Every structure is written in structure tokens, then in C-alpha cells.
Structure 1
């Protein structure tokens, strides 16, 4: 018995040591994208799309509204923690942090942006090319901070989380005519995939090798879309969900192609659509009570400045809700989705 216990204990120790060593292979988590992964960059630009006020962040450490479009943490925070790094990734434009903080994880994302430059213009947020420019600036500061050789290693071995696409459809294509006049739904998807490929090739050329790509969720089930679907009895807008599915499929094909073409690239298609759809359609299975409305304000139309702490309808317990505001999931939802994707991330990159 004693020998068996010793062997079991030794085996567990070896497994944990091996896992710890594996995690050390990822020195940093670097984030590009939109509000699904923005940890506060919009706080420091001239835009109406901000979330640096309560009730945003009320369940974050210290109850701080950081600029995350959530009551608490967002997926990159959970991913960073899973790889043995810090539990929250700072925004590059946040003056409270510096290159020492950014060396192990940094976020360049901007809420409201997309692959299409026109999407960023809608709410005057940072276009994707600007996020890439910040990445270049980050590399200069990193080289000055840790030296050229170590900086190159960090950039090469870091895990890059890429998450965007929803705004291109819901804040651009289906609202304004400029792109619809030029492209059909299918053609616009192909246009965006081309932009995504160009972006990935660009950060690859800048040294990135380990990337996780996530596309739109079931965007027709966002509370905002349900609220405006009056003729559909406020159900999910299936046309939007179908577009998200089609677009995610095209992103997956593009990822497969680039993995074959670019030496040393590991591009994982981290599709969160299915798990998010399961949460929305079977909320009680995940411990939720409400999936069709958000926690903040009336839970139908509100996000950003319309999401006010003083609104008497704002829920007291966000963990009962799938959505925090009319566009974004709660911390609990973010954690469930992250926990679903993290094993795949660890097996691919650790």
C-alpha cells in the first residue's frame, strides 16, 4: 500500500512538473481583436464606445471598471491564467501599466473594430492596422527592456489570441449600405476572410507563430438582435447565425491553408460558436436562468453608456444571466467558453 501510494504520488508529481514545464513554453499572451477581448484600450481613444464606469467591472477584482465589456474577466484573462501567467491581461494604452507588465501579456484589441476598416470608422475606434502598429511599437519597447534576443524569443513563443468579425456584420454590413451595394453576404464573407489572411500573414512576418483564431458567436441570439426582431417574436435571428456559421467555416479553411503554406506557423481555429449556442439554447444546463435578456438595464438594447448602474432593472446577480449587456456575455459565460477552449489550446501550444 505504502509503495503504491508512493508511486502514485510520484507519478502525479511528474505529471504536474511536466505540465508546469509545458506551460513555461508560452512566455506571454498577446491579444488582437474587438470588444470580446478588449481589456480597456478604448478608454484612451476618442470614441463613445467605452465601458470604464460601473456597473462594468463590478465583479472584477476590486470592483474596478477596467474597460472590459463585462462584469468581470474576459476570455484572454482565463487563457493567460491557464498557461500559468497573470490572471488579467492589461490594455496596451492603459497608463497604469508599462513594458515590464506587457512582457508577459498585452492586449491591442479595440471594442467595435473588425477586419474591415470601414467597421472601425462607424464608432471611431482603432482599425486592425492600428493594432498591428501598436504591436510593432511594443516590440521596440520589448527589445529595449529585455534585449534583442530575449524579445525575439518572447514574440516567437507567445500565444496570440485573435477574435473579431462580429462587428463587420452587425455594425457595418447589415446597417449601412456601402458594403451591401458592393458585396452579397457570401462575397462580403470572402472579402473579410481575405483581410483576415492578410492580417495573419502580417503578424507572422513580424515574428508571431502560435495563433488562436476565433470568429463570430451565434450573433443572431445577442439580446440586441432579439429585441429588434419584433416580427420574429424576439427569437434569435437565424439569418445572422447562419452567416456566422458560414464565415467561421471559411476562417477554418483559411487556417488550414496557412498552416500548410507558412513554415513554423501553428494557427488553431478556436471556434466558440457551438459551446456558445449550447449555453444559449440550454441555459439551465450551465446554471443560468436568463438567456434572452442581459443583466444590465432592461437587458434588451443597452451597452456602453446606456448600461447604467442607476437603472432599477439592472440585475443583482450576473451569474444567473448568459449576457451582461445587450452585446456581451457575463464573466460566467466567458469562463465556460474559455474552459471549453483551453484544453485544445494547451494541447496545441503547451
Structure 2
């Protein structure tokens, strides 16, 4: 038995009792969760491409089911996993490019996200990851495979009733606009926000044309409070960078207005804006009330700058209990934080799709 087959068997043995035997009847409910975006929701697609931005090694995944390092940028599950579970579908959403899975697995949920990507194609170029337009191409390929697997009528039902999660945008600012001169010389911050919002509008519209009707567009978190940003802007005294947080709030406002407009313009669409900014701000400002002990530094390594290959099993500083930390590495939340944020978004934005 080769390694890929062994991996597949192990995963299936661990979570098989959580998986539905058949495609669930829709009856207005969600039969599948389909995911687009960046590392906030990438469940392992970057493992299969040539990029330095990977997390398919320990200690990533140490608290995941079976202790597997799947390529999720966390110690455990990510928000899309928790949302899928909340709809009673399955506990994890598999990556489309992972050869351990096939269309039978993807029929109840699939992830096309790629860590490091953004709305802007120039953002995906920085670390050679999958651009958003390519994620959409994978989705159209998936539709064809789904029709062959389920038949035309059942596939169309799944496509129309599925929940589509879109989560990205942080990299456009922190990986592209601020550290590199190209976009900042072309656009003011406000103009760049409008540029990105226009891409988001076009992406949602294309999904709608392909049959999607239930769509959640996720906003930005307080990105000025990420440990990496606090560390690299040391003149702020390791405090949150309010300039970045203001940009996140402003961009969220633009996305919210765009969502309102599209709900008017696209007949039959049910588009919601899921804004994590408030709940993440609450966690950061009042960590103890959520059971956290540390918010300024991350669990992995020293907690100030480590991410991806800098956060590996050889680092002697990684914490023993990630549940006490808001952040897992310098850029990504712990599983505990992901669970809290996903629960909040489900309750306030997505429960209407139940």
C-alpha cells in the first residue's frame, strides 16, 4: 500500500463515523460547503504546488484529528471545518488538489483555497501560489466531475444549495500593498480598496453565473494586531498598528455595501457579509474572558515572527498548550480561536441557511 493510500485509509478510519453515507437531502438546507480563499481556509492545496508557503509538517496539525499535518495553517482545524460541522455535514473540508481524496469526498464539501493568495493577481505572484481566478477554474472542473458522479439533476441541486465561503484579502495589504512598491505607487489605499472590492464583486458574480446562490463573503480581521505586524513595526511598542486596523475596517465597510448592492442586482442570490472583525477584536482586547492567556505572541517558536518553515518541530520555544494562545504562528489563529470565530459567524450570519 503506497503512502497516499495509507494516508487516505487513516483519515477515513479516524473520521468515517462523522461522514454522511449519502448526499444529504437538501430541503432548503446545505448539502456541501465549498471554499475559496487564502490560508485562513486552505486545507492543504499548497502542498501540491511549488511554493515556500507550506505547513504540511509538525508542529502544524499537532491537535488535528489523528495529529496529521494536513497543510492547514493552524495546530488543528480551521473555520471552514467548523462551519461544515455546524451544518451537520462533516468535520473537515478536504483540499481539491489533495490526491488522498476524490469526487466522492468532494461532493459534500471541497476547498479550493491557497495560502498566500489574494483578490489581486499580483498578491498570488509574491509567493507563487494559486490565484483566485485559478481557484474558479478548479471549481468549474469540479462541477463537471460532480455531474458525472451524481448525475445532472442531483449535481445541480448540490451546486444551487451548497454554501460558498469566500475568505481572503489580508495578504493583498500585508504581503503586497504595504511591503512592495508596485501597487502602492499605482493606488492610494482607498483606491486599492476599491480595486479589490471590484474584483470581489466580479468573483461573486461569476460564481452566481455558475449556479451558486448561497454565498458568504468574509471580511478582514484586525490585521494590525497580528504578532508578525507588531514585531516588524517595533516603533509601535508591540501595540496593534491602528493604521492597518483602520484599513481593515474601511475595506469591510466597502465589502458590506457591495454585498447589499449585489443582493439587489442578482435575482435569487442569498449573499451575506460575514464580518469577523468585531469578534476577533473582542478576543484580542479581552482574551481572559475567552480563556486565553496570551494574545501578543503566538504559540509556535518565539511567537513573534515564525510562520511556515520557521515554525517547525525543531524550534524549541513552541508552547505546550495552544488553547491558551490566540495565535498559533505569527500570522494565523489557533484552532481554539478558529472555533470561536466560526461559531460567531455561524450564529450571526450563516444560521439562516439551516
Classify the TM-score, shorter chain. Answer: over 0.9
Aligned ranges for residues 165-314 of structure 1 at < 5 Å? 165-314=169-318
Deviations 1:249-275 (A, max 9, x none): 100000000000001101110100000
1:59 corresponds to: 63
Is it true that 1:115 corresponds to 2:115 in the alignment?
A: no
Alignment-derived partner of residue 83 in structure 1: 87
Per-residue deviation, 1:23: 8.3
Gaps of 5+ in 1: 1-19
Once residues 313 and 23 of structure 1 are traced to their aligned partners in structure 2, the CA distance between those partners, rounded to angstroms, is 50
Are residue 134 (structure 1) and residue 106 (structure 2) matched?
Answer: no
Deviation sequence 1:204-226 (CA, Å, 0-9, x none): 10111100111211000000000
Contact 1:166 1:215 in 2 (8 A): no
Which residue of 338, 347, 354 corresponds with 1:343? Answer: 347
Aligned length: 331
Contact 1:23/1:84 (CA < 8 Å) preserved in 2?
no
Displacement of 1:172 after TM fit? 0.2
Runs ≥4 residues deviating over 3 A: 20-24
- List alignment gaps of at least 5 residues for structure 2: 1-23
Root mean square deviation of aligned Cα: 1.2
Conservation of the 8 A alpha-carbon contact between 1:218 and 1:273: yes
CA distance in 2, matches of 1:181, 1:21: 52
Q: CA separation in 1, counterparts of 2:205 and 2:25?
A: 29
2:48 aligned residue: 44
Deviation, structure 1 residue 335:
0.4
TM-score by length of 1: 0.93
- In the TM superposition, residue 344 of structure 1 has moved relative to its aligned partner by 2.8
Cα distance in 1, alignment partners of residues 234 and 110 from structure 2: 41
Provide Cα deviations, 1:114-156, integer angstroms capped at 9, x if missing partner: 0000000000000000000000000010000000111111011
Mapped partners of 2:183, 2:217: distance in 1:
24
1:150 equivalent in structure 2: 154
Question: Which entry has the higher C-alpha Rg, 1 or 2?
Answer: 1
Equivalent residue of 2:271, what SS?
strand
When normalised by structure 2's length, the TM-score is 0.92
